[in-house]
Structures are given as structure tokens and as C-alpha cells.
Copies of this chain bind each other. A is one copy, B any other.
Amino acid sequence: MELKLFSLKSVSVPKMVGTDMMMFSSPFTNSGLLIGCKEAAIQSFSCRVTFPKASYSSISQNTVRSVSGEDILFQSYPYRVNGTNGSNMYHRDARVLDAYDDEYNGVIVHSEGLPSNPNAFTSILRSSLSHWKAKGKKGVWLKLPITKSEFVPIAVKEGFQYHHAEREYVMMTYWIPEEPCLLPSNASHQVGVGSFVINEKNEVLVVQEKYCATGLTGLWKIPTGFILESEEIFTGAVREVKEETGIDSEFVEVIAFRHAHNVAFEKSDLFFICMLRPLSTKIMVDDHEIQAAKWMPLVEFVKQPSIQEDTMFKKIIDICIARMGKCYCGLAVHQLASKFDGRLSSLYFNIVEDKSSNCRAS
């Protein structure tokens, strides 16, 4: 029960759970919010905000707290059940939008409580902002479903900015104080995986892309792709191999990862190179995207000019060879629970105590 309660609560704290855990502090503390908020503020500066960089360090407890407003939006019931702050309640005033106060002096508009017509929305949004300003509120979160898209320009006219959007909604925010906006940013990274599947004969599972630039026709490469929403790195690596080649495999280790920036929509990219152990041998090519797949002797694979001529690719192959020679320590995955968010999550590290570990350091 305690775990459940933690889980509900922690899931609801935007951008804070992951760090909170490693901070050795609980999602119930403000510390995670504080750091997350500060970081978010800095991220904002590096986007388009014109506040002086110095100012993001002038964080007050109140401004910080509004970061957690979001959680009520998505997790209102557990939040309210767990909440210790009596201020968690609806505004009943007809001139004020149906909204929650969060525990941190922020306001979260209740999407389901939005009026149906634009004129009504215009006037109630205005009176709501005056009301919240008068009450010394900080951040306002307004989630507009796509069915209410006509409210977007109205909110913009009143000073709201876009925060993030998913297919079915746009999240808008309004920062009331004069001081710099300290609301958190949206996700910053995409995550890809590459799978080195190497059998006992030192043969690498390689594929040829169906749609390939002329210069690279005939190049043999490892299976790769992006992990799915909420997918584990180790399952994504196995899935990609199965989809492209029909080969069953098991994850062994993350042997390296690459960090690149300004890749997609000005976001960053983390790419995890995984070593996998094959569990089957018969290749069945996915003919939608793959021209051919085969087991290729490592030596031949490395000989390919596109690899020999590229510093990074060459280095990655060197690492794989070192790993195969038990002269390298990759990161294995372990599912561990933490009482601070009551959930299992994946921790990638060397198997320190495990005798079968290839890390023979002593």
C-alpha cells in the first residue's frame, strides 16, 4: 500500500522522479522540484527566453513549487488523497476557471471544466488571471484538448505561451511573477539502440538497407532503431533484431553510448550500442526495410571501407572486439525497486559481485 501510494505520487511529479531517486531524497521533498525547476529555467534560457542567465539562480521556494502543479493535472485523485495541504480544492467562483491550487502556489486549470464557448472562455480566463494575480499565484497550467483549439489564440492573447504538445492537446503556460519563468521544459532527448549480435563463430548479424544511398550500396550494418514510448533499452535492442532479421536474441550489455545534439527538432540524441547473444540462427528478412541479412565474419565486417575510414565506427568495432576478448566491461541491466517511488526501474552497471562478470579487476 505504501508502495502504491508512493508510486501514484511520484509518477505525478513532472521531471523529478528520476532525479529524485538518485538525489537520495523523496518525491515528497521539494528538493527534486527545486533542482528540476532550476534546470528547467536554465533550459528555457537556452531556448528563447531573454532573461539574464544570472537570474535563474534567484529561486524562491514559492516560484519553485509551482513546478509540481502539473501532477495534479494528471494525478489529481492520488495527489489530493495524499496531499497534506488543505489548499487543494476547486475554485467555485463562477468568474474563475475551474482549477486546482497546487501545494506550491501554482494553478492548474481543470481541462474538463472549460466552458464550451470562446466568448465565455475569454471573459473567464481574464477574470481568472486577475484573481490568480491578486492571490499572488505563480505558474498557470492550461491544457487545451485539440477539441478546444479555438481557445488557443484566446489564451495567447492573454499572454500564455506554448509549453509542449502531443497529438491530442497543447499545454499552455502563464508565468505571473515579474521574475524569470521557472516552469520545467519538455523532454529533451530521443533514444536509439544498435544491436551487435555475435555468435560463437565470431560472426556478426548484419543487414543491408533496402533504401540506400548509391555510395553505400552493399554496405553491411548492424540492426538499429529508436526505442518505443516507455520501452526499455534492452527490450528495444532485442525487438529491432527480431523485426529486421527474425533472429531471437538476448541482451547482454550496453557496451557504449553516444550523445549528440541538435538532431531532431533541436533536441538531443542518446544512442546505446548493445551486445546481444543470438538464440536462433535462421534469418528471416523484413522485406519492407531490409534488402538482405546474414551472418558475416567479424573480420569481413570490419574490413568494410565505410567502417575503416570512420573514427567513431572503427572505435565502436574495437570496443566490441575488446568485449568479445573479455577485455572490456559493458553495463548489464538490473531491475531494482526504490521505496522512494515504489517502482521497478532499470539500473545499468557492471556485475560487480558476479563471478561470471568479464570484468576481472580485483
Interface of A toward B, CB cutoff 8 Å: 11, 13-19, 21-26, 28-31, 33-36, 38-40, 42-44, 46-49, 57-59, 61, 64, 70, 74, 146, 149-150, 152-153, 156, 161-171, 184-192, 194, 209-213, 215-216, 219-222, 224-230, 232-233, 243, 255-271, 273, 286, 288-289, 304, 306-307, 309-313, 315-316, 318-319, 322, 326-329, 331, 334, 336-341, 343, 345-350, 352, 358-362
Knowing A22-B273, A270-B18, A336-B311, the reply to whether A161 touches B170 (Cβ < 8 A) is no
- Bound state CA distance, A316 and B338, in angstroms? 12
Residues in B whose Cβ lies below 8 Å from that of A229: 43, 46-47, 185, 188, 266, 268
Residues in B whose Cβ lies below 8 Å from that of A40: 226
Counting from the closest, the 3 A-B pairs by CB-CB distance are: A18-B269, A30-B211, A31-B209
24 A-B pairs whose Cβ atoms sit less than 8 Å apart in the complex: A18-B258, A22-B222, A24-B222, A30-B211, A30-B213, A36-B225, A40-B226, A48-B167, A61-B211, A64-B211, A64-B289, A70-B265, A146-B156, A152-B153, A152-B170, A164-B265, A186-B265, A187-B268, A189-B270, A191-B268, A230-B262, A256-B348, A312-B347, A319-B349
Asked if residues B11 and A262 are in contact (CB atoms below 8 Å), the reply is yes
Asked if residues B289 and A31 are in contact (CB atoms below 8 Å), the reply is yes
Q: Besides the contacts A19-B269, A232-B259, A316-B347, what 19 more A-B pairs have beta carbons closer than 8 Å? A: A14-B263, A23-B221, A26-B216, A28-B216, A31-B212, A36-B226, A162-B166, A164-B265, A191-B268, A230-B262, A230-B268, A260-B341, A260-B345, A310-B340, A312-B338, A319-B352, A328-B361, A329-B350, A360-B360
Asked if residues B34 and A289 are in contact (CB atoms below 8 Å), the reply is yes
Residues in B whose Cβ lies below 8 Å from that of A26: 213, 215-216
Task: From A33, A169, A331, name the one whose CB has the most chain B CB atoms within 10 angstroms.
Answer: A331
**Could you say how many copies of this chain the assembly holds?**
2
Asked if residues B336 and A312 are in contact (CB atoms below 8 Å), the reply is yes
Knowing A18-B271, A23-B224, A38-B225, the reply to whether A47 touches B167 (Cβ < 8 A) is yes
Residues in B whose Cβ lies below 8 Å from that of A166: 47-48, 162, 164, 186, 265-266
Residues in B whose Cβ lies below 8 Å from that of A165: 162-165, 170-171
- Bound state CA distance, A30 and B290, in angstroms? 11
Which residue from B46, B210, B271 sits with its C-beta under 8 Å from A22? B271
- Bound state CA distance, A259 and B335, in angstroms? 10
